[in-house]
Chain A
Amino acid sequence: GQQVMQIPQYQHVQEGEDFTTYCNSSTTLSNIQWYKQRPGGHPVFLIQLVKSGEVKKQKRLTFQFGEAKKNSSLHITATQTTDVGTYFCAGPSGGSYIPTFGRGTSLIVHP
């Protein structure tokens, strides 16, 4: 079945440093979604990318979808303590509309 891998599992940064998490799928994705889960909270949708090679920005966050639609990345510039949480990628493939989630990357920001 489809597998979605995310690395790293954890990332500690000093406030102000940049952060990147990577997502790789074993199969081609019809789209890629990114979610953020604050500690003790529930996943909240951030963005969806659909087109091959697509890049989208939300303030300090930059999202990319690979040319082959099998990988994606989330980059945060100049992290802040409010960025703390776990970031999940998710995407449907193989004709299914249901997204398979990666295991997430937990971001810890030290002030």
Chain B
Amino acid sequence: NAGVTQTPKFQVLKTGQSMTLQCAQDMNHNSMYWYRQDPGMGLRLIYYSASEGTTDKGEVPNGYNVSRLNKREFSLRLESAAPSQTSVYFCASSDGQRGEKLFFGSGTQLSVL
């Protein structure tokens, strides 16, 4: 039982390049989330998906797109990376929509030069 799996673990991009961060969970959870973590800023929500087929913006969605491919997978795409998107990205999932606990993936450390 792997929980929440994120790939890649590390990535270096040049400004303007694009990439997709992959996330999959094997807990049959309905809700999935993408957060970014910057020093001293805590965890800020980028996008979330309450259920398969739905996605919504979080606190800091600009510069990102997401796809809820199926119940298991939720990807985050940077179309044209900027240095301000240098961060650690965490995918998370939860069982439903009642404020349940979140299960986090191990994170992706992204540097944009």
Question: A interface vs B, CB < 8 Å?
Answer: 1, 6, 9, 30-31, 33, 35, 41-45, 48, 88, 90-92, 97-104
Contacts and interface: CB of A to CB of B under 8 A. Distances in A.
Contacts of A41: 106
Contacts of A91: 99
B97 interface: yes
A88 B43 contact: yes
Contacts of A43: 43, 90, 102, 104
Interface residues of B, number: 24
B99 A45 contact: no
A40 to B, nearest CB: 9
A31 B94 CA distance: 15
Interface in B75-95: 90
Given A33-B102, A104-B42, 18 more contacts: A6-B42, A31-B99, A33-B99, A35-B102, A42-B105, A43-B102, A45-B101, A45-B102, A90-B102, A97-B98, A98-B58, A98-B99, A99-B99, A99-B102, A101-B42, A102-B42, A103-B40, A103-B42
Interface of B: 31, 33, 35, 40-45, 48, 58-59, 90, 96-99, 101-107
Contacts of B98: 97
Contacts of B48: 98
A102 to B, nearest CB: 6
B101 A33 contact: yes
Given A31-B99, A42-B107, A45-B101, A98 B45 contact: yes
Nearest to B105: A42
B101 A9 contact: no
Contacts of A98: 33, 45, 48, 58, 99
Contacts of A9: 40
A99 B99 CA distance: 7
B43 A92 contact: no
Residue in B97, B102, B105 whose Cβ sees the most chain A Cβ within 10 Å: B102
